[in-house]
Amino acid sequence: MNFELSDEQKMIRQTVRDFAEREVKPLAKELDEKGQFSEELTNKMGELGLFGMYLPEKYGGQGLDTLSYIIAVEELARVDSSQAATLAAHNSLGIGPIYYYGTEEQKMKYLPKLCTGEHLWAFGLTEPDAGSDSRATKTTAKLENGKWIINGSKIFITNGASDLSAGATVQTVSDIKDGRKEFTTIIVEKGTPGFNQIPMHDKMMWRASDTAELYFDNCEVPEENILGVRGQGSRIMLSTLDNGRLSIAAMGLGLAQGALEMAIQYSKERKQFGKPISRFQAISFRIADMATKVELARTLLYKACWLKDAGKPFAKEAAMSKYYCSEIAKEVTDDAVQIHGGYGLMKDYPVERFYRDQRILQIGEGTSEIQKLVIARKVLN
């Protein structure tokens, strides 16, 4: 077993860390307070080559492995979860399904422009009545005269409504046979009549990321906009979530790493009873626990990435990583706030933003409860 990163992976970590410290960190507080999505930072991430990192070069990607991409998400989340969310959702949920299930014509049409940072793509799965129960989808698609007629809505869709959003891949109910729903995924481009993208505001977390509601009112798209084959929608959705779990896990890991570093720095600077609080056993032991959790999370996530890159089954490890990294993000940020004391509750200290941002990680792309269900099925079967 070799736990050493390659020289290329080390370079990616340092490059993205430098970018996050130089470009993202100075803007993170202001963007969070304003609830403002940054096209400028998104464009810069594209220029850095962070979109489509794992795609072959012929589609505009970098041809890198999964772990390299996950390290990039981790390093962004170490500084700001909103920008990490933009990157993770676009790569895993936006680009991923088109790359893995699209025709060659669809890949050449969409992927190159989605790797530049000038366009973003969304994955429309969640609905007001379809969350953990994805099969409760109500959005319908009827094939009439060579066109799909889509009606329904989606909610909590990342990268769904900004000026950079170029469209979405949407899960629909294309038929019902003997009471069983047939699910089909369909590509819907921005500007299609009947397709409306509405930004969602006043979020507790990821306030500088783009979250949207999508509405379809007799929205007509060509029959060839189907992604994969008819009835394959559920399979595409589940596969997409397996890949997406790795990026959400990376967000939890990066956020926890950032919170740990803040706690260490503050504990060395803050003095009580005539000495730095880091010298008190209660604080030093808490930090020891935090550091151990972060290291365990990293090892588990990197193993899942290795399995995927090796072409081995990784669904169980992806679910474990998403579950554990999300939960330790909660625990580590809570400890970091406790170490900061009253200052940890003030917006002047970034640990307050980290405490808010971690909360979605146990909900988005499959709740912690759903992850445990997936893990249990894999272990018990």
Supply 321's token pair.
């990583």
183's tokens: 């699910």
Sequence-separated (6 or more) residues with CB below 8 Å from residue 98: 106, 107, 110, 111, 114, 121, 169, 187, 227
State which H helix or E strand residue 265 sits in. helix 233-269
SS3 call for 138? coil
* Count of residues in the chain: 381
Half-sphere exposure of 262 (CA within 13 A, CB side): 28
Q: Closest Cα partner for 354 from 228, 257, 217, 239?
A: 257
Q: Does residue 120 contact residue 210 with C-beta atoms inside 8 Å?
A: yes
Active site residue 295: no
CA-CA distance, 124 to 160, in Å (whole number)? 8
Separation CA 123–CA 185 (nearest Å): 10
Distance CA 89, CA 325 (A): 17
Q: 8, 23, 365, 369: which is the annotated catalytic residue?
A: 365
The residues that are catalytic are 365
